[in-house]
Structure 1
Amino acid sequence: MTPSVVLLAVMAISSSIACPVQPPCQCKNQTDPYTLKLEYIVDCSSLGLTLVPKFTGGETVDKILLNGNRIVKVSNGSFTGVTTGAIDLSSNGLQIIAAGAFKGLEKSLTDLQLSTNNLILPIPGLLRLTALKTLNLDYNLNMRTIYTKSFYGLTSLTKLVLSRNFINRFEHGAFEGLPALTELSLFACDLQEIPSALSSLTNLQTLKFDLNFITKLPANAFRGLSNLKYLELSRNALTSPDQIDADAFKGLDNLEKLNLFYDKLGNVPKHAFSYLKNLEYLDLSYTNIAQIVSGDLAGLNSLTQLDISGNSVHFQPGMFSDVSKTLNYILIRSNGLTALPIPVLQEVKSLQWIDAALSDFPKDLPANFASGLSINRLSLMWMNLTSIRPDTFNGLASPLHLDLDSNALRSLDFVTDLCQFGYISVSENPIVCDCHVYNITQAQTTTLDGTCASPPAYKGLGIRSDEFQRKAKEDCKNQHIVGPVKCPWK
């Protein structure tokens, strides 16, 4: 959409909708940063208001912002005189929402933000909002108990955020009446166990339990959640593999992503993953795992991505035998490696991408550094690399995708075969942008991402920028510069 078309659209919206509220509130048009949709907003945020302002005219607006005020109570009929799809009442110290607070919005309100307040459940004003899809109750520190049918009647709700609350009790039936819920966040709620009340959420797909104090995962811990696809259990109090029962994940046949980041397990929990036949991503980073042996990953028949970063893992033959036919991306960052464990990685026939960032490889990478592997992407970031040889990446598949961000490289002289690389990222490196760099860009075989550090006339210029191309073309006009190169893989 051209600027002129956007301006005309804004003018059309502004002329057709009267502002339904008096100053100091403002009505304005703005573009939603996520959907890029043009919206008509009533902005009453951070004005020191103690009451919801009076709305008149019966206009329809996209969003009402009341966040950052001092509104402690939303009374009956507070939004009579306006129709909207979204209200933000976060950061008010809000304590009471009356039963008829949102009267007239039952069929239009889809997004309600109530974070950083002093609310406790049940909240009478919520129970008639049959169109509500997103409810955010993050950081309501007085919220300790989720009572039976606390959200009953929210039949369209798909996303519920209860994060950063000191919740210590879930009554039976706490989540009853939420047939459409697909995402639930219980991040940082001081929980010590998985609440059995979750079993009624049969359509749940995303469940976040990170940064709690969960000490065990008993058998059938996620009973009833057969549609779950993403389970976040990172940064809990799981400090031994014995705390995860072999049947803990039973019934999670559709789970695709499991995060156990920073749970200090020490070893892979035996047989616990055997039910996860559709799991594609497993994060075991920073879990103090010292070894993985054959059988530890048994049952993970669909695993494509494995993160074992931040562990002093002993790489030994057969450790990836359970996933050797499916695994194509492995993260082995910050594992103290001084060289790639090539014989072990060679056993993973499907491997395409290795992320070995933050390793202790030599600063001057040697010849045939990864020879014997058939990968097509390699990430070597944050390693203070100073130089790379033209034969460093010999033997790897072309075109190679190479991530070299945040090193100490000054030169791209290692690029001599213009068909060897399809992409090279050298952001946050002190690159000297010379005619060789320009030559690489003119071959049109390798996409270069990065910024020139020198010479002074080029400092700060993006290698892909028009200004760099213009200056380099002039400065290198007496050099031999190739034109577009045709490679076998193009």
Structure 2
Amino acid sequence: MLGSSSILCLVVISACPFLIYGQYSESLCPSQGVSSRCHCTENVIECRNRGLTSLPNFQTSPWPFKRLDLSKNNITYIPARAFEGINVTEIDLSFNMLTGIHREAFINLKKQLNGVDLHNNLLFALPEVLSTLENITKLDVSYNPIPHDNFTDNVMRLIGDWITEFHFGDQDLQQWPHSLHHLAELQFLKFYGGKMDRIPITAFNGFEHTLRKLWMQSTHLIAVPIALQYLHNCNELHFDNNVFVKDAGILIPAFAGMTKTLDTLSLENNSLSTFPPVLRTLVSLHNLSLARNNLQIVSDQAISEVGSNLTTLNLQGCNLDRIPGALSKLSMLKNLDFSYNKITTIEKNDLQAMNHLASLNVSYNPLAYVSKSSFHDLGSLEELVLKNTSLYEVPQAITNLPHLKILNLEQDQPSIECNCDLSWLYCFTKTNNSALTIVGACYTIVLDIGLYVKNDVRTTCPNMC
């Protein structure tokens, strides 16, 4: 039952603009019918995963919602004037069963709608209704069975002056759509899937000077497209899950236009066995991910290919059984991720000359031993993540980390022994590092490691400080 203050807010809406949960969402959310009632917050009309087969009947609401979320339903068609009564700038219709959208579906929103998400539907052509949107900047039609010739010139031309972010592609796409050249303002492009093993050299014509970020993922490509050489202002490239590429497919000429601009490069899961030689040409590269490649051994020669400006390196899931000593050459690294490998020990001479390293992640490894003499060169380390390892004790090597702020020892099955052997850790936190946060649970008692060290060691163990 509504209280008196809530009733007053329903009568005088402007007096209570931030009553957005509870009574507000029940009374002012602009949908009708028990089965289609949506939940509303300050900015979102949320109708996600409601089992809808058609749109709710929206009623006029004075609330200035920003986004309508209709994702993960079973909606098959959007009729004319479907959104009268609401005032949003973004609509999410992803993960439905859409086969068509009426040309006048968005008629009352045509001047304000700037984002439409249609990915994972059953559309066989680019909906003509999109050409009526006068300010659309972001469009996602990925994972719809749209053949290349149904990215129609007329629609692409009419939205080309507005679109800055475009997502497309499907596992059955046979050719690269020629009509993409109409997207003259494009800054972000995401391409998924496709059956083609190469794309035309003219693929990025029309937006080669505007594109800043590019994703090409889960394709059948056998090499990095040569067409990339014309992207002169691209600073971020995600070329991932292209398992047919392999080492020979990372072509140096493809990166010719990005040698001075590329800041972030992801080459995850491309069947690589080593660091690609192209890295030595990318003088502005700061962030590199080679995750989920079968690197096994990282040699001095391989590391010599990497530029000296690299600050973030992701080697997650690369089948490494030890920390490569060659990484000591990357002295400017700040973030290093070794999670999901086969590393069993951290030795004294591992991680040398990494004076700038701030975050180290060795989680999800069968790590059982950390030398007390390790970490000596990690004077700037602030975060050490050792989640789900085989450690039975807190590594005393952390006493070599004067600026450590977070030690994460979380385990699905806690294994750290909490007893008076942790007196050294109490002393370390008391005298050297009072700001240290320890995350993880004790094995022997139902208590967090950090709380045990802070309270129980002090009261029940001999004073070792």
**Unaligned 5+ runs, structure 1:** 1-6, 19-27, 32-36, 54-60, 482-490
In the TM superposition, 1:45-194 aligns within 5 A as 47-48=34-35, 64-65=45-46, 68=50, 70=52, 72=54, 79=58, 81-83=60-62, 85=65, 86-90=67-71, 91-98=73-80, 100-103=81-84, 108-115=87-94, 116-121=96-101, 123-128=103-108, 129-141=110-122, 143-146=123-126, 150-168=129-147, 169-178=150-159, 179-186=161-168, 188=170, 190-194=172-176
> What TM-score do the two structures reach when normalised by structure 2?
0.79
**Residues 172 and 250 (structure 1 numbering): CA distance in 2 closer, same or farther, change over 3 Å?**
farther
Matched, 1:310 2:292: yes
**1:245-286 deviations in whole A, cap 9, x for unaligned?**
43x113423322212222121122232122123222211122
Cα 1:416/1:93, change in 2 over 3 Å: closer
**Is 1:432 equivalent to 2:417 in the alignment?**
yes
- The answer to whether residue 182 in structure 2 is matched with residue 200 in structure 1 is yes
SS across alignment from 1:177: helix
Tell me the matched-pair count.
433
The question of whether the paired residues in 2 share the 8 Å contact of 1:164 and 1:189 is answered with yes
Say yes or no: does 1:42 pair with 2:32. Answer: no
Structure 2 match to 1:414: 397
Give per-residue Cα distances to partners, 1:439-480, cap 9 Å, x unaligned: 343333562332222332xx24262x6x8744454335x524
**In the alignment, structure 1 residue 250 sits paired with structure 2 residue 229:** yes
Please, which runs of 5 or more residues in structure 2 have no aligned partner?
none
The partner residue of 1:444 within 409, 420, 433 is 433
CA contact (8 A) 2:442 2:449 kept: no
How far apart, CA to CA, are the structure 2 residues paired with 1:327 and 1:46?
56
Would you say the 8 A contact 1:30–1:41 is kept in 2? no
What is the CA RMSD across the aligned residues, in angstroms?
3.7
**Structure 2 residue aligned with 1:475:** 460
Give the conservation status (yes or no) of the 8 Å contact 2:415–2:443: yes
The corresponding residue for 1:330 is: 313
Equivalent-residue separation in structure 1 for 2:83 and 2:354 (angstroms): 62
Q: Aligned ranges for residues 229-240 of structure 1 at < 5 Å?
A: 229-238=212-221, 240=222
Structure 1 CA distance, aligned partners of 2:174 and 2:58?
Answer: 40
Matches of 2:138 and 2:204 in 1, distance apart? 19
Partner residue of 1:388 out of 356, 359, 370: 370
Are residue 461 (structure 1) and residue 452 (structure 2) matched? no
> 1:42 touches 1:65 (CA, 8 Å); kept in 2?
no
- The answer to whether the 8 A contact 1:387-1:409 is kept is yes
Judging by fraction of residues, say which structure has more helix: 2
Amino acid at match of 2:104: P
Percent identity between matched residues is 20
Q: Is the 8 A contact 2:315 2:339 kept in 1?
A: yes
> Cα offset for 1:101?
3.6
1:404 is displaced (CA, Å) by: 1.5
Residue 12 of structure 2 corresponds to: 16
Contact 2:99 2:124 in 1 (8 A): no
Range with bigger deviation, 268-277 or 8-17: 8-17
* Distance (whole Å) between structure 2 residues aligned to residue 46 and residue 392 of structure 1: 64
Q: Report the alpha carbon displacement of residue 131 of structure 1 after superposing the two structures with TM.
A: 0.5
1:379 matched to 2:370? The reply is no
The 3 A distance-change label for structure 1 pair 63 and 391 is closer
Q: Distance in 1 between matches of 2:436 and 2:314?
A: 23
Go from structure 1 to structure 2 and tell me whether the alpha carbon gap of 1:13 and 1:206 turns closer, same or farther (over 3 Å shift): farther
